[in-house]
Structure 1
Amino acid sequence: MTIDDTILLAYVDGELPPDERAHVESAIGKSDDVASRLSILRASQLPYAEAFSQQALPPVPETLRRNVDELIRQHLAGASAQGAVNAADAIDTATSGESSIPSGGNVHRLKPRASLPWLAVAFVAGVFSCGIAFRLLPQLTGGGAITTSSNDPGVSPWIAAAAGYQQLYTRDTVASLQPDMRATAATAADIRQYDNLALQIPDLRSQGLSFKRVQRLRFRGKPLVQIVYLPEHGGPVALCVLKEAKADAAPARDRVGGMDVVAWRRGQLGYALIGEHGGVDLEALGKRLYGGEVSTTIGRTDAHDDARSG
């Protein structure tokens, strides 16, 4: 059985039968290449459907409905005038025998495209839906305005984007995630090798937070790492990391887009703890992380023993 990306994706989605799933798991344990490809596919498996299902989307504005109705009315009015011309063209075509001439074995006449009214409805509705999506989903890849807000106008744009992204997560969307430590180790290795980030993944179980996943994202072309934890109660907490060639800075608390944020810098890396307001004491946790008082799960050569013992 060849383990290609299609099979790995079915494994990630939980769609493989038990025998094939066991074969894939055996291959993961034996092949670093398969484990690496699996980690990439897991990183792309974001819980967008569950996240957006929690959002209360506003109704379609009445002005938008009226504009679409007007587009349809104008098209129908123009279509009646064009009907006579089309009928004449059809008669001319039939008379000349053009319609009976075969187009050839590899040439086919194009079917008429969707009528303009439905295209108009689809286009306008699409624009409206995209407007909602971009309002909810931050531009982690850059190229657009960050829609999140902060009480501090000096907050780093990447932190604002990460906070907006974190708002998409709820406890339900994270609770179902089961961390794969082998895939996590492969992702951590990719972060060190390809993203050039000397990252260590903290073990926060002593603080009441369970590790759920690590993801490789990008912000304006720069690697951005998101490590997601779930506390015993309340919403998920993310530790986000991005390379920042600036002096070290002690943890500082902020509010970004309704989320609590504690950010600091150490060793040319910027860190941001992000969680829902009133949940985990992020300030105390940030100070412990800044002071190196928390052990690591993965990220050092000796960390695999820590992961196995957990």
Structure 2
Amino acid sequence: MTELNKGQMVTDEQLTAFIDGELNAADRNRIEGLIASDERVAERFDFLSRGTLPFTDAFQPMLAEAPAARLDAMLAAIPSTQESNVRDARIGRRGFLTAMAASFVAAIAVDRAVIGIGHRLSKPDEDAEWRAVVAEYLSLYTADTLSAPAGDHAQQVAQLNEVGAKLDLPLAPEAVAMPDVEFKRAQILNYDSKPLAQIAYLDPESGPMALCIVQSTKGVAAPDMENRKGMNVVYWSSATHAFMLIGHAPIDRMQQLAADVRAHLIA
């Protein structure tokens, strides 16, 4: 702290120290006299005094939202050559503001680092990508989309034979039939220059539903579940193909329907 000399104009730093109670008795007496006798000093004192607000309370909501655990872990790992000085330092109003600003800067750095690491560690999942495309497409379907008659058994056989030939997978109406769900059509779509089979159904309770199939070399995978575009998905794969059943029905019903279809396709 700079000592006060007679005749020297008081600085903002000295006034702040006066407000924070960091001056000795002689310097305090001199500044009190200047405040009483010098209008400029009095105005500056009034301005700086407005800064003596409850900063901790004011910024507590923002501090509570900061990633404290991650920030603490990061700071704990940084060696400090001034640890003893920091431990002994008195943190007043100015110290709190400085520490708060530094903590927010550090928190932003931590968040960006975590995001960057997440991007580097995540690898594209081709299986997930095709399911996302199917979900995007099927989310546009309504009951009216599938209102056309499904055709007789012979027409269903013809459609499924054509679709199955594109995928090198035998398909029959009995293999893809689901209880209480109406078969509507089977068609081939194009995904990433590869055939994608869509077998569309209309569930009277929940609306459009689809069994979709692509050729895959990922290997056998047991059924799993996810939610896309507000629809429930059950997906699995065989040694040669990947399957997904998607619709708005409850997940337990979707699981049962998928299990029935899977058993028929394996048989």
Which TM-score applies when normalising by structure 1?
A: 0.41
Larger Rg: 2
Which TM-score applies when normalising by structure 2?
A: 0.47
Greater helix content: 2
